[in-house]
A and B are shown apart, each in its own frame.
Chain A
Amino acid sequence: MAPREGGCPVREVYFYATCLVDLFFPDAGMAGIELLQSGGVRVVFPRGQTCCGQPAFNCGYWEEARAVALRQMALFPRDLPVVLPSGSCAGMMKVHWPELFHGQPEEARARALAGRVFELTQFLVDELDLKLEDLGEPVRVTLHPSCHAQRDQGVLDQPKALLRQLANVELAPLARERECCGFGGAFAVREPGLSEAMAGDKAEDARATGAALVLSTDGGCLMNIGGTLEKQGFGPAAQHIAQFLWERTHAR
């Protein structure tokens, strides 16, 4: 990726939807694209996107994960940043593709690609220094920073930095901000009791903040926390941070 010089922003990026956003959170995906465009970026949306391969990778089915990842790796031939509206899938490409292809002919390609993978809010803050103007009514929100966004991708402050720019938004932190919500992909169905217990605690934590919305960078966490809150019938609604940011800053 060409380094930024003299504050000149990166002009072009690849946008990778991720399967969860593609199927369950397309509004968040559109919002992510529009946020990038509003920062002066030309967004390229490669055809042929499916999934980063994480589910199979995590379950130990690496052959299958490699077959999928290999197809996806070919979608980014130009030396442009790859931006994903998910810390978990970004972490998969950045940290785990090099592990997946370790000792394979594609290892060098995986490593080269890893250096230009960004989670959306990370790109908006660290690379674009995006300025936001709040057009919304006063609201209190809370943020669940996903485990993989934090630990694989190093994203914890960037979503907060964006929310802090919004004058009418009060960010009420979770008491156990860094604790997992219990999603964990296949974990949620393989160990349903444990997953439920973790999601239940997270839902309670979110409710205790008095927030109207619980935001996150990751669709999996949102489905888990939001689904739990919805089933319980009270507490904040869950929303992807990209969609929240776009709706707050652009009258629809």
Chain B
Amino acid sequence: MPAEMEIDFLASSTRALGDPQLRRNFRRAMDGLLAKRAAVFPDPAEWTRLRALGGAIRAKNLLKLPELLEQLERSLTKNGITVHWARTTAQANRKVLELLRARGVTALVKGKSMVSEEMGLNHFLQEHGIESLESDLGEYIIQLDGEMPSHIIMPAIHKNKDQIARTFSQKIKDAKYTEEVDELTAMARAVLRRKFFEAGAGLSGVNFAVAETGTLCLVENEGNGRMSTHVPPLHIALMGLEKVVESLEEVAPLYSLLTRSATGQAISTYFNLISGPRAGGEQDGPREVHLVILDNGRARIFQDPELRATLACIRCGACMNHCPVYTRIGGHAYEAVYPGPIGSILTPQVEGVGLRHELPHASSLCGACAEVCPVQIPITHLLIRLRREASHRTAGTTVLEAGEARSRLEDLAWSVWGWVLSHPAAYRLSAWCATRFWRLLPEGAPVLAAWTRSRAKPRAAGQSLQERARAKGVPHV
């Protein structure tokens, strides 16, 4: 959902940092994920080779994106899957509603779909009198609490067992309070099992859509994806237009990279290959399958050859798991559908770099995200690119709201910086003054004040290295 007003990341991250329970929950969960991922990539050479392959496949997919999407539509249509195109999230919502209303559906059961979060679909359907129930356990938990996912793979990762126990006991009818994980899971299962059979439609996301064969691939661990897509008579799948791959052969390495990077699993518990509605003589499966392909800014991102890499993402979440910023504040502080490093490059491009200019700065540029990205998205490079786009409007830019976060004060500061440092004599004079008078600078001086809140004031040397080296006779040229 596009945000309507400027979001203050500084304030929301500060709030998150002040919540020790949240920080403990995330740190513990992320540590577990890091260890699991490391265990399934024991051989650096294999990792390097596989991610190079994954990166190459996704780069090639994106290069041929328009052709592949047309091919996908043809293949899906041949398989009996109806394709719908939506430029905006509002159009996508409207299409889903039309499909449901035309069939008199009043209750929908959902597998996990980040695109549906992008659309704000649950809220939209609820407003139109249609019940939309999340069937992924994590999504179910946060739906009970009326929250957004805090992670793209593990939406309820911000909660610990006790918090979930409280939610269940308060929100599920006739539920007793228990902290036993098996009992909690059984409670959710009892509710959901019934809903799978009652719902008039099932909704799912798509991990990969295969252009050659017209196959929708769905990766999941709970079986709720299979239930949502096979039990109700109508299956509606949602995907962002970047999810298309060319062939089934390409899916194998991407699938391996996805599950290993996301949860440290060699393979997921369920891997669904959906290739059409129930055919004549078959005993099960939906009567109808529809796919809604959403743009929502992606076609614009596609136009820029460098920023296009953002669309290579296979939504594994490894960048957030490894991010020292995300680990400390969790997903909600970003106030975006996609949190963490991938969100910090995607959200500003979708919603505008003016509105979301703080997100590309929500990084120390440590590079951990790009290092673990299984499809080689140069995340740090793109963060810098978007910082640049936010403060500069270059000719021919396709970035939304380019230059709208420009600050005259910052422009001036960098101009002065640039002038001094490109005039060595001016630098030497400044260095001479700085080394002599640094100690006179009060701790509360602008910029320094932010530093000295939790750190001692740095001590400048009485004499710069340049002066000292010259005095020692190190050859200058």
Contacts and interface: CB of A to CB of B under 8 A. Distances in A.
Contact of A151 (B371, B435, B468): B371
B29 interface: no
A112 interface: no
A24 B458 contact: yes
Nearest to B438: A23
A9 interface: no
- A contacts with B: majority SS: helix
Interface in A115-146: none
Given A51-B421, A61-B391, A147 B455 contact: no
B440 interface: no
Interface in A171-230: 178-180, 182-200, 223-224, 226-228, 230
B461 A27 contact: yes
B367 A63 contact: no
Contact of B368 (A23, A61, A178): A178
Interface residues of B, number: 67
| Residue from A43, A99, A195 having most chain B Cβ neighbours under 10 A | A195
Contact of A198 (B328, B389, B390, B417): B328
Nearest to B386: A60
A108 interface: no
Interface in A67-89: 67-68, 70-71
Contacts of B2: none
Given A30-B468, A196-B453, 6 more contacts: A59-B387, A67-B418, A67-B422, A179-B366, A186-B361, A227-B456
B304 to A, nearest CB: 14
A147 B367 contact: yes
Interface of B: 10, 13-14, 17, 23, 324-325, 328-329, 361-368, 370-371, 381, 384-392, 410, 414-415, 417-418, 420-422, 424, 427, 431, 434-435, 447, 450-461, 463-466, 468-470, 472, 474-477
A44 interface: yes
A184 B364 contact: yes
Nearest to A61: B414
For the complex of A and B, 10 pairs with smallest distance between CB atoms = A184-B364, A227-B455, A64-B418, A60-B388, A60-B387, A180-B366, A230-B456, A26-B465, A29-B465, A147-B366
B77 to A, nearest CB: 42
A48 B426 CA distance: 10
Contacts of B370: 151
A246 B381 CA distance: 36
Given A180-B324, A198-B324, A48 B424 contact: yes
A23 B464 contact: yes
Given A47-B424, A223-B458, A195 B465 contact: no
Contacts of A247: none
A189 B451 contact: yes
- B contacts with A: majority SS: helix
A97 interface: no
Contact of B460 (A23, A53, A184): A23
Given A192-B453, A230-B455, A59 B424 contact: no
A99 B455 contact: no
B387 A224 contact: no
| Residue from A21, A42, A67, A183 having most chain B Cβ neighbours under 10 A | A67
15 contacts: A17-B465, A30-B465, A43-B474, A53-B421, A55-B417, A63-B418, A64-B415, A70-B422, A147-B368, A184-B363, A191-B361, A192-B450, A192-B451, A194-B13, A227-B451
A107 interface: no
Contacts of A44: 475-477
Nearest to A27: B461
Nearest to A75: B477
B377 to A, nearest CB: 15
Contacts of A183: 364
Contacts of A62: 388
Contacts of A184: 363-366
B341 to A, nearest CB: 12
A203 to B, nearest CB: 9
Given A29-B469, A192-B453, A60 B368 contact: no
| Residue from A190, A193, A195, A223 having most chain B Cβ neighbours under 10 A | A193
A21 B463 CA distance: 11
A230 B352 CA distance: 41
A83 to B, nearest CB: 13
A224 B455 CA distance: 7
